[in-house]
Structure 1
Amino acid sequence: MQVSVETTSGLQRQLTVTVPAERIDTDVEKQVVQQARTRRMDGFRPGKVPAKVIKRMYGDAIRYEVLNRVVQETFYEAVQQESLMPAGAPSIEFKTDKEGEDFAYVATFDVYPEIELKDLAGVEVEKATASIKAADVKNMIDTLRKQQSTFKATRGMVKEGFQVNIDFEGFVDGEAFEGGKAEDQDLVIGSGSMIPGFEDGIIGKKKGEEFDVEVTFPEEYQSEALAGKAATFKMKLNEVSKPELPELNEEFFAKFGVSSADEAEFKAEVEKNMAREMNHALKTKTKTAVFDALIAQNEIEAPAAMIDDEVNVLRQQAVQQFGGQAQIDPNTLPKELFEEQAIRRVKIGLLVQEVIKAGNLEATDERVDAILADIAESYDDADEVISYYKGNEQMLNQIRSLALEDEVVDHLLASAKVKEVKVSYEEALKPAQQ
């Protein structure tokens, strides 16, 4: 077997493998003889089909099967011989394929980048900190009350947060357009469920009024025929309802898992849940900042095959976020939407593995138990949740991966120049910029 390697670009390699004709032809003849013994064919007794008949009828298929098997065997022999580490499956192209001649093929693939790991020694990394104030708890409780609010009919003017029932029909250049008409539609003002300007045009109106609302469809609107167009909606306001907030009582508290009429106990439970969510968000921000710094310190190229795999994972996740609707084919989602995030993920994965190897890191039982305890805290029976995870090896391995990732972050922070930045509760909950 002869092997040659060419670097075509960056991490891409082309491996040309030549296999002696004797190896191919010998394997083909063996398969022909084997099928002559076992294949049943009209006009011949079992085991008596002439080899030349088998070769004439099935020779091409047999040869193709042999060639594919030889490619699988010789490819891994070749990459080991050349000390290459493929990052994904190769693309195979047959170069020469004639009976009696040496067989040659070209395998194209990416290799893993060579990484000379740089840690974060002396690198400034921001670590956000936050605390929960009484006003934050009050705002959260107000939000929970609004979520549980009911609506009561009123003769007053429409305000932000009111619910209306409307009939409407939309016109562009004086012509009604498809999908622009509805009757008895409920709408909460301020929900943002309609195009900009639609809900604002209803504010200040009263039950029974008929009026026009002038809007302009967004340039990126889903219907090309309406995108950027000025439109008039003729409306009739059938009903106006104002929100009524529930009382802070035992019935309300029970909806959030607090079986008590004590308002102080309810506030304490709300604050505890807020603290858990805030701490998770702060931890994620720190992790993002650490990994951003790690990528900045180590300029590496991400293998194309790994990027493609990660894009497919992100596509699947996007479909699940849409509700897992069967009619959405993940492959129809443009690669460009996910490519930047996929590249970042691949780079982080490669660098994290190097950090683990260089630091000889592992997920400790203490950290695994801490993560499990944190997960279980939000359930009624924490011990049952922990036992469930520990009894499921696949789920437990996911927790170990999280614990190991936390070990990596702490290991990197130990050498970094950490700058603590105090932020508000609201700021802490905002997603980290990537």
Structure 2
Amino acid sequence: MGVGVQVPPLAPNSTGEIQSPTYVVGLRSSKMQVQVESVNPARRQVKLQIPADQVSRTWSTVIKRIGGRVRIPGFRPGKAPKKLLERRYGAAIREQVLERLLTKVIPQALDQAGLEPLGRPELDEVGEVRDNTELAVSFSCDVLPDIELDGYMGATYEIHRVEVDDEDIDAELEARRQRAAKVVDVDESAIKDDIVRVKYALRAMVQEPAEEPDWQERRIPVGSATPWLSDLVDGRKIGDILEGQVELPEDEGSELAGGPALIRGEILGIQRRMVPELDDALAQQLELKDLAELRQDAERECNVRANRRNRAIRQQAVLKGILDNHEIAAPQALVNQEIDGRIGQMFGGMNLSDNPGLSRYLEELRDSIRPEAAKGVQQALAVRRLTELHEIEVSDADIDAKIESLVEEMADMEDRVRETFATDSGRENLKAQLVEERIFDLILQGSTVKDGPVLHLRDPDPQPEAEAEEAEAETKADAESDTDQTESSSEQDAEKSAENEE
């Protein structure tokens, strides 16, 4: 993730406290005082005094512009007195003056103070805007924090390892079988997981049959979460007539929902997902010689995934050690960008602003994502600092070799891989990846590595102790809550039973 250019830290004074340096920005014939204060390691507040003559010049420009546009009885355009314009359009004048001043002085103040903001600066306070009067303004912005890293070389890291076994290979073969499955029409009784196309109409229990029933057509998976209809089509054949009484759930989306109804319908079609056998025929369908070669290819794919995961595990172990021993501030501007990116991936680039009903859900989602997003930003900042501290050389030949390695790993996507890394930006991204990989290799070569537990591809990564304890506590709390609800429900049922007996 790109995190921009690092901003130099504010210099500490003799007592070790952060000073608030004052800069002078020249604005034609006057000077603007700019004071920078550290809110936290990743945020600065800028206070400035815009000189009276700068305000006056801007005020005159706005008055002239407004006077040339408005129509005031008794005066030609642009000839109305300044005082009259101020009296009639004072609010608009002040608003435009402020906008023009801020648009000009904020970038100048940031540049003079050596600050490169992450995101847009946020206005904190503005004094009263008056002609020929000095104007006080303060605003804040996020910046990249200064990061000092030490102690990570020569440290001890516990790293678990992913190894491929027969069960992993069997799981990969089964996944390939499932991907090769085809959905076909069948003329047999519907069984579990079949897709049944049914046409039906519902009516109330006491309603007379309508001349034209309100027919609807649905595709129902047998054994799905729509049991009232799924159970009705289970075991049926094409052409079978459905008649009887059903109990509709509350969320059915019908005016009859939540009560009994009469149904009449017909089975129009049945489709079944046919999964091929694991044999030579499947191998040849996948453009391989036989089952033995298919198994070899599945093992190769498993090893590629294990190697990628092992590299990620090694990097995460180093980053965890660094974050455990260093305070790295995460600028909220970058955290928000990270959250936006993750939500965008979840919703596939949908324009969520078009759905105001999602606003509350999205806010809750953002809050739930924020801790992990902040951690991601901290890791990215740590990696960025490591690349500054370790000057790693990567040649064009190294990049070419990496491309060939990726082509070998993803042989079925060779053209796409080569196209991706044929551009300058693609090669630069790959170079940055190689630099990161070599930095982590260098750190671990100079450190003590303890073997953690051996995992397999099917196993999740073990949680850090703190996270595991938190997850266990949440599980325990949920279990206790479920127990309380069950006991409460049982008590209520017992009370009702006793009342019925009486």
* Structure 1 residue 420: Cα displacement: 4.5
CA contact (8 A) 2:201 2:263 kept: yes
Alignment of structure 1 residues 169-318 onto 2, 5 Å: 185-187=219-221, 189=223, 194-195=224-225, 244-247=274-277, 252-253=282-283, 255-256=285-286, 258=287, 260-318=288-346
Cα distance in 2 for residues equivalent to 1:298 and 1:147: 46
CA contact (8 A) 2:56 2:133 kept: no
CA contact (8 A) 2:143 2:331 kept: yes
TM-score, with length taken from structure 1: 0.69
Question: Matched residue of 1:341: which SS?
Answer: helix
Which residue of structure 1 aligns with residue 24 of structure 2? none
Question: Matched residue of 1:320: which SS?
Answer: coil
Which residue of structure 1 aligns with residue 106 of structure 2? 72
Question: Matched residue of 1:427: which SS?
Answer: coil
* Structure 1 residue 109: Cα displacement: 2.5
| 1:405 corresponds to which of 418, 436, 440 | 436
1:220-269 per-residue CA deviation (whole Å, 9 max, x = no partner) reads x999xxxxx9999999995887764425577644553x2x5433333333
Counterpart residue identity of residue 282, structure 1: N
Cα distance in 1 for residues equivalent to 2:202 and 2:52: 75
Which residue of structure 2 aligns with residue 346 of structure 1? 377
Question: Matched residue of 2:347: which SS?
Answer: helix
| Alpha-carbon spacing, 1:30–1:242, altered in 2? closer, same or farther (3 Å) | closer
* Structure 1 residue 394: Cα displacement: 2.2
| 2:404 corresponds to which of 360, 373, 389 | 373
Alignment of structure 1 residues 15-54 onto 2, 5 Å: 15-26=46-57
Q: Does 1:14 align with 2:48?
A: no
Counterpart residue identity of residue 123, structure 1: T
Cα distance in 2 for residues equivalent to 1:329 and 1:409: 45
Cα distance in 1 for residues equivalent to 2:433 and 2:259: 51
Which residue of structure 2 aligns with residue 124 of structure 1? 157
Cα distance in 2 for residues equivalent to 1:158 and 1:418: 52
* Structure 1 residue 349: Cα displacement: 1.6
| Alpha-carbon spacing, 1:108–1:40, altered in 2? closer, same or farther (3 Å) | closer
* Structure 1 residue 119: Cα displacement: 4.2
1:387-417 per-residue CA deviation (whole Å, 9 max, x = no partner) reads 5345412222222232233233323333353
Question: Matched residue of 1:18: which SS?
Answer: strand
Q: Which runs of 5+ in 2 are unaligned?
A: 1-31, 72-76, 204-214, 468-502
Alignment of structure 1 residues 87-106 onto 2, 5 Å: 87-92=118-123, 93-106=125-138
Count the aligned residue pairs.
Answer: 402
Counterpart residue identity of residue 117, structure 1: L
Question: Matched residue of 2:301: which SS?
Answer: helix
Question: Matched residue of 2:133: which SS?
Answer: coil
| Alpha-carbon spacing, 1:116–1:212, altered in 2? closer, same or farther (3 Å) | farther
1:144-199 per-residue CA deviation (whole Å, 9 max, x = no partner) reads 2234345675877945x55556689999xxxxxxxxx975524154xxxx449889
Which residue of structure 1 aligns with residue 144 of structure 2? 112
* Structure 1 residue 343: Cα displacement: 0.5
* Structure 1 residue 130: Cα displacement: 0.7
* Structure 1 residue 136: Cα displacement: 3.6
**Which of structures 1 and 2 has the bigger CA Rg?**
2
Cα distance in 1 for residues equivalent to 2:375 and 2:295: 40
Q: Does 1:145 align with 2:173?
A: no
Which residue of structure 1 aligns with residue 347 of structure 2? 319
* Structure 1 residue 12: Cα displacement: 4.1
| Alpha-carbon spacing, 1:245–1:123, altered in 2? closer, same or farther (3 Å) | same
| Alpha-carbon spacing, 1:244–1:108, altered in 2? closer, same or farther (3 Å) | closer
1:275-333 per-residue CA deviation (whole Å, 9 max, x = no partner) reads 323332333333333323322222222122222222222222222177x7895689942
| Alpha-carbon spacing, 1:307–1:141, altered in 2? closer, same or farther (3 Å) | closer
| Alpha-carbon spacing, 1:32–1:216, altered in 2? closer, same or farther (3 Å) | closer
Cα distance in 1 for residues equivalent to 2:246 and 2:373: 43
CA contact (8 A) 1:356 1:408 kept: yes
Cα distance in 2 for residues equivalent to 1:253 and 1:408: 41
TM-score, with length taken from structure 2: 0.61
Cα distance in 2 for residues equivalent to 1:416 and 1:237: 70
Question: Matched residue of 1:301: which SS?
Answer: coil
* Structure 1 residue 90: Cα displacement: 1.7
| Alpha-carbon spacing, 1:234–1:141, altered in 2? closer, same or farther (3 Å) | farther
Q: Which has the higher contact order (CA 8 A, sep 6+)?
A: 1
CA contact (8 A) 2:160 2:455 kept: no
Cα distance in 1 for residues equivalent to 2:400 and 2:307: 17
Q: Percent identical across equivalent pairs?
A: 17
Cα distance in 1 for residues equivalent to 2:146 and 2:318: 21
| Alpha-carbon spacing, 1:70–1:183, altered in 2? closer, same or farther (3 Å) | closer
